[in-house]
């Protein structure tokens, strides 16, 4: 009892100091409590804490951004569909290109064949035309020889009266000049053979047409001259 009264006496003695310290202590305790409450409030307001307590996955703090990311990120079916579409377009383009190449090659081959056929036809026509012109010119050479040909008038020819066919050759240049001539087959009579050579040298021949014997400066002809008493 005496000890308890002593305690109260001490408190009463330091009452002024305690009256100053007690409000300060209350303020410190209140500040600490308030600080702890703020920390707890911040912790509980975080999405990770809420998700942890509710056993749910963490929710994004920006749903608009998450929605945008989901909308811009294609799903696997969409990716597969896009790849199939791209492959189909690529195959279609390849087939179209191949078809165009085949068509181009076919057209080129057809045009080449037509050109070759046209060239061959043109060459054949030119060859036929040149051959026909050559035959006509040979007829002119033979006509010039027949026009010049005379039966021998010598005394020996009048007495022996030889007849026969002499085959000769002659070479003309493109102007129709005689370059050379000779005997191929004798008629059996020197009189007729010599007269045939003289006929070839006396005759006047026309110039080559431009369409005959292309690329030749001269041409050799062979022909037969028939001699008879009545010719």
Q: Is the pLDDT of residue 176 over 50?
A: yes
Burial (CB < 10 A; 0-12, 13-18, 19+), residue 187, is buried
Q: Is the pLDDT of residue 64 over 80?
A: no
CB 183 within 8 A of CB 225: no
Show the tokens assigned to 17.
Answer: 């100091």
Instruction: Specify which of 2-16, 31-45, 80-94, 139-153 reaches the highest per-range mean pLDDT.
Output: 139-153
Sheet strands (E) in 12-156: none
Q: Which of 61-75, 114-128, 148-162, 193-207 has the lowest mean pLDDT?
A: 61-75
CA 66: distance to chain centroid?
A: 52
- Select from 136, 145, 154 the least CA-distant residue to 201: 145
Q: What is the pLDDT of residue 58?
A: 46
pTM for this structure?
A: 0.47
What CATH number does the domain located at 136-227 have? 3.30.1150.10
Report the share of the chain in percent with pLDDT over 90.
36
Q: What is the pLDDT of residue 197?
A: 96
Q: Which of 89-93, 154-158, 205-209, 220-224 has the lowest mean pLDDT?
A: 89-93
Instruction: Specify which of 29-38, 41-50, 58-67, 90-99 reaches the highest per-range mean pLDDT.
Output: 29-38
Paired residues of 224 in beta bridges: 167
CB 192 within 8 A of CB 227: yes
CB 176 within 8 A of CB 205: yes
Burial (CB < 10 A; 0-12, 13-18, 19+), residue 194, is middle
Q: Is the pLDDT of residue 41 over 50?
A: yes
Q: What is the pLDDT of residue 59?
A: 46
How large is the average pLDDT for residues 141-157? 93
Q: Is the pLDDT of residue 231 over 70?
A: no
- Residue 160 CB-half CA count within 13 A: 15
Q: What are phi and psi of 171, to 5 degrees?
A: -115, 125
Q: What percentage of the chain's residues is helix, strand, coil (to nearest 5)?
A: 65, 10, 20
Q: Which residue has the higher pLDDT, 60 or 192?
A: 192
């Amino acid at each position: 009892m005496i000890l308890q009264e002593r305690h109260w006496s001490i408190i009463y003695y330091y009452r002024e100091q305690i009256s100053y310290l007690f409000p300060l202590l209350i303020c410190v305790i209140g500040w600490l409590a308030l600080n702890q409450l703020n920390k707890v409030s911040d912790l509980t307001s975080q999405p990770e804490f809420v998700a942890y307590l509710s056993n749910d996955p963490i929710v994004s703090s920006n749903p608009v951004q998450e929605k945008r990311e989901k909308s811009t990120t294609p799903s696997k079916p969409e990716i597969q569909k896009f790849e199939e579409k791209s492959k189909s377009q690529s195959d279609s383009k390849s087939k179209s290109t191949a078809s165009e190449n085949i068509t181009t090659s076919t057209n080129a081959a057809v045009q080449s064949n037509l050109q070759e056929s046209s060239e061959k036809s043109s060459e054949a026509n030119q060859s036929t035309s040149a051959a026909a012109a050559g035959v006509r010119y040979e007829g002119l050479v033979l006509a010039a020889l027949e026009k010049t040909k005379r039966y021998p008038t010598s005394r020996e020819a009048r007495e022996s009266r030889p007849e026969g066919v002499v085959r000769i050759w002659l070479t003309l240049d493109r102007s129709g000049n005689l370059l050379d001539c000779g005997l191929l087959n004798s008629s059996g009579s020197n009189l007729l053979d010599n007269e045939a050579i003289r006929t070839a040298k006396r005759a006047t021949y026309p110039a080559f047409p431009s369409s005959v014997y292309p690329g030749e400066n001269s041409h050799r002809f062979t022909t037969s001259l028939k001699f008879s008493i009545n010719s």
